[in-house]
Amino acid sequence: MSQFSDLRAVSRHGAGFLVARDVLSVAMIVADADGRSGADGAERVIDTVHALPGLEGLDRAAIRKAGLQASEGLARRGVEAVFSDAAERLDARTANAAILLACRVALIDGGISADGDAVLRPMARRLGIGPSRLEAIRVLAARREARAGGRP
Amino acid sequence: MTAPRPWTAHRPRGEGARRLAAPFRILVMLEDRLNLRLHELRDALREDFPQIDWPDDPAVPDLPFDTHDAPVGVVSCGRAALPAQITAHRRADIAWSALLPRNRLTPVDRLARRLAAAGTHLEIAVTSRGPALPDRLEAARRATAIAAVFADLPIAAGAVQLWSDRVLSPQQTIDLAASAAAGEVPLLDWTLPLLFYHDATDEEAELSSGTTVGLSALLGYELELRQSPEPAGLVIAAIMDVAQQLVTEGIALRDGGEIAPFGAEAHRTRLLPEGLLGNDTDRWCLVHPDSAFHDQELLGPTLSQAAPKGLLARAMDLFASRPPAHPQRRGAPRGV
């Protein structure tokens, strides 16, 4: 997306739209590494977003649009380019939200695979999230997922 | 005494004809750098203004546009108008000190401060296929729509319509474009009605005059009302009512004819040819029956006044022998 399209999206959906797209992009990268690739993985990430920090005020339609743009961006530009841009824009709060979402998506199927974990840890590190913080987020994700679906 | 003027419909000439050939230019002031690809702009126009056709044109390539590095772009308008030209400028050479008062803004108003602080502006220029009113309206509509797409961005500070000196906020620009795209003729936004109060020390201080700025971009002439005894608000209402009739109902003014604007008394309609009173384009002048503007002396009698012979003709000669009036000294509008 060019700056023009980003600004149009902000104008329509609010400043949270770009945050949502970055958060969803990070979660989709982890989901893809964890074996949930393509449109199915993107849909699962979009459906798992519930009341994440930084996404307040966005309605479902805006989140869906942000998710579709995230998916298109990953397909068109590649993981590294999309993640680099997201890492630059996300602050500590929204970076936590991105990793939390990634963990929750992985937990839907029981847990993060070794491949998913191999992507998640360095990404968290690049977002400024250390190992202990990451572990805390994993625990939080598990609790939320258990509340949401009765899964462990 | 000069010969009476025949009643003729107005034909644009001189500066008026030049204005009918000129593009509609709108500046959109931006607070930040902007980049895009031209197909994104076309897609945005199709999304925001689906009532207007924005065709693909193989002759208009999908190039990058950047307000700093690639500051020229083109958008196809199909057969409706010549391709829209979009150029970016880093420094705005805009006379805010003249524009702001005309638009009833002060430098401390929020809109004025945002406009003055904007470091970049886009210039959108759309030239009509020809000088006919439908072509001019279509070009104005498209220029307004393109400006609105940019005005909708969070970095837009406002817009200036160069043909009318009209300063608009981003929301006004968007609303105006929506109205025009819906088929309306938003004349109150496409022209700037200016009011002139007369010098309070003048013997005719109760008089007021008004003029349009920008009507000549649509019709080839401006419209004015000189030294009317009516309240200032009615003067503007009368001018804009007649302007709206001219543009939307296709009425034609005749030199020496009459028109009753806004339910008021009939006003004489007189043609003020370009340059006669310092006016830089032709002007149609609405003359209130009790106006202090002595049009018969300055512009010559009209057929309606000259036709009767005998007593009335002699009375007209006597009338013409009065000392000439000096409308400009009394504060009448100069050519804009």
pLDDT in tens, B190-203: 999 988 776 556 65
ipTM of the complex: 0.75
Q: Are residues B261 and B127 in the same domain?
A: no
Q: Does A152 fall in a domain?
A: no
Domain that holds residue A142: 3-147
Q: Does B330 fall in a domain?
A: no
Sign of the Cα torsion B130, B132, B138, B144 reads positive
Nearest-CA residue of chain B relative to A8?
A: B153
Q: Are residues B174 and B237 in the same domain?
A: no
Which residue among B164, B190, B216 closes a domain? B190
Which tens digit of pLDDT belongs to each residue from A58-78? 888 888 888 889 989 999 999
A4 contacts B41? CB cut-off 8 A: yes
Q: Does A139 fall in a domain?
A: yes
Q: Does B296 fall in a domain?
A: yes
Q: Does B141 fall in a domain?
A: yes
- Work out how many domains chain A is built from and give that number: 1
Domain that holds residue B87: 15-190
Nearest-CA residue of chain B relative to A6?
A: B153
Nearest-CA residue of chain A relative to B65?
A: A4
CA distance A2 to chain B (A): 6
Whether B54 contacts B45, CB under 8 Å: yes
Of residues A3, A10, A11, nearest to B36 (C-beta): A3
Q: Are residues B139 and B200 in the same domain?
A: no
β-sheet bridge partners, residue B193:
B212
Residues of chain B with C-beta less than 8 angstroms from the C-beta of A7: 34, 153-155
> pTM for the full model?
0.81
B154 contacts A4? CB cut-off 8 A: no
Place of tokens 């949270």: A16
What integer pLDDT is reported at residue B83 of this predicted model? 93
B153 contacts A8? CB cut-off 8 A: yes
Asked if A76 is an interface residue toward chain B (Cβ–Cβ < 8 A), one would say no
**Which has the closest alpha carbon to B117: B155, B84, B154?**
B155
Asked if B75 is an interface residue toward chain A (Cβ–Cβ < 8 A), one would say no
Q: Does A110 fall in a domain?
A: yes
Residue to substitute from A2, A69, A76, interface B, most B β-carbons within 10 A: A2
Which tens digit of pLDDT belongs to each residue from B58-89? 888 889 999 998 899 999 998 889 999 999 99
Q: Are residues B184 and B56 in the same domain?
A: yes
Rounded CA-CA distance B131/B118 in Å is: 34
Nearest-CA residue of chain B relative to A15?
A: B154
Percent of chain B's residues with pLDDT above 70: 84
Q: Are residues B82 and B160 in the same domain?
A: yes
Among the ranges given (A79-88, B182-191, B321-330), the one the predictor scored with the smallest mean pLDDT: B321-330
Rounded CA-CA distance B111/B113 in Å is: 5
Which tens digit of pLDDT belongs to each residue from A77-87? 999 999 999 99
User: Exposure string (b/e) for A29-59, b if CB count within 10 Å is 16 or more?
Assistant: bbbbbbebeeeebbebbbebbeebbbbeebe
Q: Are residues B65 and B185 in the same domain?
A: yes
